[in-house]
Amino acid sequence: MANYQGLTQDGSAWEPEFITEIDQTKCIGCGRCYKVCSRDVLNLVEYEADEDEDDDEYDDFDDDEQRMVMAVANAGDCIGCVACASVCSKRCISHSPLNAA
Ligand code: SF4
Ligand code: SF4
Query: What domains are there in the chain, each with its CATH number?
Result: 6-53+61-97 (3.30.70.20)
Please report which ligand is nearest the Cα atom of 74. 1
Q: How far apart are CA 45 and CA 68, in angstroms?
A: 5
Among 96, 98, 92, 87, residue whose Cα is nearest residue 70: 92
Mutate to test the pocket of ligand 2, among 32, 42, 44, 91 (most ligand atoms within 8 A of CB): 32
The answer to whether 92 and 24 have CB atoms below 8 angstroms apart is yes
Q: How far apart are CA 69 and CA 24, in angstroms?
A: 6
Cα 63 to ligand 1 centroid, rounded to whole Å: 31
Nearest protein CA to atom 7 of ligand 2, as residue: 27
Q: Which residues contact 34 (CB under 8 A, 6 or more apart)?
A: 42, 43, 44, 70
> pLDDT (tens digit, 0 to 9) for every residue of the chain, 101 residues total?
789 999 999 999 999 999 999 999 999 999 999 999 999 999 999 999 877 665 555 555 555 568 999 999 999 999 999 999 999 999 999 999 999 87
Nearest protein CA to atom 8 of ligand 1, as residue: 37
